[in-house]
Amino acid sequence: MNKKKIIAIFVIFLLIGTTLAATVSAKGLFGFKDGTSYRDLINKWKEIRQEKQELRDMLEEYGVELPDLTREQKREILKTIIQSRRQGAERNEILEIVFDLLIEFGMDLPDLTSEQFSEIREKTVTMLEENYGFVFIELTYEQKQEIRNTIKEMKRCGATKEEIKAAIIELYESYGGVIPELSDLEKEEIHNFIVNMLESDYGFDLPDLTLEQRETLKNKKSEIRELQKELRQIFKNVRFITKIRFLIYVRRSLN
């Protein structure tokens, strides 16, 4: 057997061995540690997009004007919020900055100052304390940190939104605050007070949504958050190369 034939046979066996190895390891290389597939990740992402579209359709049906923001504008708003928080800005200051950005992007919003946002909060707090039995307290840094850690830990353990809410209320009340349970009628009264205040005192033009419509939107948002949580969990367990494939797919789909 001449030298060329030996080399050819070697190359053939090398190709066969490589193909077999790739076939055996393909599931582990491109799949997930828990046995699910790349397709499961894509399907979950598509499901979230579908739910978001249904939410947008609901809002339009209810007469809610949606901001037509570009991806770059959305990124700028998110970046601004993150930077403002890192710099220690107060909530009212962040609201003023975000509102200024939205107005700059073409949204029809009243140009409020941080002092006016403080007024809105103070009026709302006073109304809730005087009429519905709320007691609001100023939390210490340690108490705020305990609440953050509790939320983070409960999310990590897969607690539902209702379970987390109940735990945080219990923790808040252990510090001396009071968050009473409200009837549907009381919720509607509070909603109407806030809407009337924003429209008459601060120039807002808000959609007139019923309690049923608000609950429907709230439930849809909760469904989306749950799906997003499932997607994050799947993505967390995926192997590195599949993460890259998924991110490339998402980027192409959004362009």
**238 and 216 belong to one structural domain:** yes
CB atoms within 10 A of CB 32: 19
Beta bridge partners of 178: 135
42 within domain boundaries: yes
124 pLDDT tier (thresholds 50, 70, 90)? very high
Q: What is the mean pLDDT of the segment spanning 238-248?
A: 87
Q: How far is CA 213 from CA 42, 162, 183, 187, in A?
A: 31, 20, 17, 13
Query: Residue 170: inside a domain, yes or no?
Result: no
In a domain, 159, yes or no: no
- Residue 216 resides in a domain: yes
Q: Tell whether 137 is covered by a domain.
A: no
pLDDT digits (tens, 9 = 90+) for 159-184: 888 899 999 999 999 999 999 999 98
The residue among 6 and 91 whose pLDDT is bigger is 91
Query: Once rounded to an integer, what is the mean pLDDT over residues 225-241?
Result: 87
Say yes or no: 86 and 51 in one domain: no
pLDDT digits (tens, 9 = 90+) for 46-99: 999 999 999 999 998 988 877 778 888 888 998 999 998 888 888 888 888 888
Domains held by the chain: number: 2
* Residue 180 is assigned to a structural domain of this protein: no
Query: Of 90, 109, 128, at which residue does a domain stop?
Result: 109
Kindly report the CA angle at 171 between 166 and 172, in degrees rounded to 5? 100
DSSP structure class, residue 31: S
Could you tell me if 130 and 139 are in contact, meaning their C-beta atoms sit under 8 angstroms apart? no
Same domain, 236 and 212: yes
Containing domain of residue 45, as a range?
32-64+207-255
Looking at the DSSP assignment, which residues form a beta bridge with residue 238? 32
Residue 135, SS3?
A: strand
Residue type at 199 in one-letter notation: E
Domain end among 109, 142, 166 = 109
Q: Residue 36 has what pLDDT?
A: 60
Q: Determine the residue type at 198.
A: L
Query: Rounded to two decimals, what is the model's pTM?
Result: 0.66
Give the end of a domain, one of 77, 94, 109. 109
